Chain A
Amino acid sequence: MSKVSKAAPVAVIVILMGIWEIIVRVAGIPLYVLPAPGDMLKSFASEFPTLFGHAGITVMEAAAGMAISFVVGIVVGVLIDAMPTFKACVYPILVVTQTVPVIVLAPIFIIYMGFGYAPKILTVVLMCFFPIVVSFSDGLGEMEEGYLNLVRTYGGSRLQLYRIVKIPSAMISLLSGLKVAATYSISGAVVGEWIASQSGLGYYLIRAKNGYMLDKVFACVLMIILLSLLMNGLVKLFGYAVLPWARRRRNSR
């Protein structure tokens, strides 16, 4: 059953691509309007070395943004859980920051921070920080009061309460947030590069689009999809390593 369900979306994509290919070929749609999937794959193969080079820059920015979001997100998440006043002050503001479109902020970052990597990394942080903080701080408050009381009656300090109960119990929730953030991180970096840059997949996209080389644009989109899935996969791998108990329970079922 699980093999069938895993193959199903792949089959749907293959069928849709097939229909797309046939329509483009039969109707004779020119490349600068809509490239056929075949053209896209061909240009993905031929452009791979260039795409790979730009992808390196984008991944670096995405990873740096993720790392900063992770560290700051963990600290802010603990503060939100530990101090109700802090939560009351900061949480609504965090929500509001998410309502401002990143595409508006990215050019402003460039005015402030120049054309280097910094504004791109900040764009990534802006997109990744929120899901990490929310998932982690929610996870910290989830554990049943009985577990906390158990550690308290055993003479545990507040710090031990976090180390023994709260932080481990928040891991599953944090991982969901990290998965969302990982998927956003590549898009965030691409948006940052799109505004102004000399390298990266966003830069490549602008160049290809301006030249009406839509097969290359789609090849780049394919690269972005693959990288986002890769980031997501890395988070899953991380989860696999830090939650051995969840893995074992699944296996024993």
Chain B
Amino acid sequence: MELSVINLNFSYTDKPILRDLSFSVRDGEFVSILGPSGCGKSTLLNILAGILKPESGQILIDGQQIHGISGHFAYMPQNDLLFPWRTILDNVCLYGEIHQNKAEMKKEAKAQFARFGLEGCEDKYPGELSGGMRQRAAFLRTTLCEAGIFLLDEPFGALDVITRGDMQDWLCELRANLKRTILLVTHDTDEAIYLSDRILILGQPGEGIREEICIGEKERTRDWLYEQGRLRAQIHRIIKFV
């Protein structure tokens, strides 16, 4: 699915957060949005998901304008938001339960548990799992949505550095098979370089997109990532530039 955002505006009371923001994402593309905190990254995802209402501007999916909650987006926030009273299987099948095909989704979900490193956790409760496993469960729940575009809002932000690295490796491997358009919000430069096809760098609140960096089709490994010193420095300079 192709996403276009045209002249989006949003402000909290008097403070403009997004001003005339425009960008587009191709079908199947993985785009990261990088920027200082408070620049409106999460606000943007909330607007796309339909939780917040923009003041003006258009959001187009495959050329069609959408309003409010549309069903095209699967939104995954930083907090795993697993319901503590539901087993992992019941948690990941939430979308199926809402759309009345829980039984079918359960079968589909069970087949995915191993791929998400969750084998044996079907009947456990979120409180019994580690932070990384909970985040993988939340990710499995997101992938089971019939939505063409994933909105990932700092999905690994709450994890410790080592677990975060493992999760990035895992998502990097999984990425090709997902066959979805992905929009990732992060403040981790390495994460953005490692995972995305393109990076959009947002400036100060109200400033809009400062620079766009294409990484393109490359074999992604940790070793490759370690060699990207120049790219990393370039991104840092862009973010720091006032």
Contacts and interface: CB of A to CB of B under 8 A. Distances in A.
A112 interface: no
B98 A164 contact: yes
A156 B71 CA distance: 10
B121 to A, nearest CB: 13
A243 B85 contact: yes
Interface residues of A, number: 23
A246 B125 CA distance: 9
Interface stretch (B74-82, B195-203, B213-221): B74-82
Contact of B127 (A146, A171, A249): A249
B83 A165 contact: yes
A150 B98 CA distance: 11
Nearest to B96: A154
A151 B98 CA distance: 8
A153 B51 contact: yes
Interface of A: prevailing SS = helix
A96 B79 CA distance: 41
A245 B91 CA distance: 13
B50 interface: yes
B51 A149 contact: yes
Contact of A156 (B84, B86, B98, B125): B98
Contacts of A171: 85
A252 B81 contact: no
Contacts of A146: 77, 79, 81
Contact of A168 (B79, B85, B145): B85
B69 interface: yes
Contacts of A168: 83, 85-86
Interface string A160-202: 1000110011010000000000000000000000000000000
A248 B125 contact: yes
Interface in B32-82: 49-51, 69, 71, 73-75, 77, 79, 81
A242 B84 CA distance: 13
Nearest to A161: B98
A169 B69 CA distance: 24
A150 B128 contact: no
Given A152-B51, A249-B128, A164 B94 contact: yes
B94 A151 contact: yes
B95 interface: yes
Interface string A198-233: 000000000000000000000000000000000000
Given A144-B81, A146-B81, A169-B85, 20 more contacts: A144-B79, A146-B79, A151-B98, A152-B69, A153-B69, A153-B75, A154-B95, A155-B69, A155-B99, A164-B83, A168-B83, A168-B85, A245-B84, A245-B85, A245-B87, A245-B125, A245-B127, A246-B85, A248-B128, A249-B84
Top-9 shortest CB links A-B = A249-B127, A245-B125, A245-B85, A156-B98, A153-B75, A153-B49, A149-B51, A168-B85, A154-B98
17 contacts: A146-B81, A147-B83, A151-B98, A153-B51, A153-B73, A153-B74, A153-B75, A154-B95, A155-B99, A164-B94, A243-B85, A245-B84, A245-B86, A245-B125, A248-B127, A248-B128, A249-B84
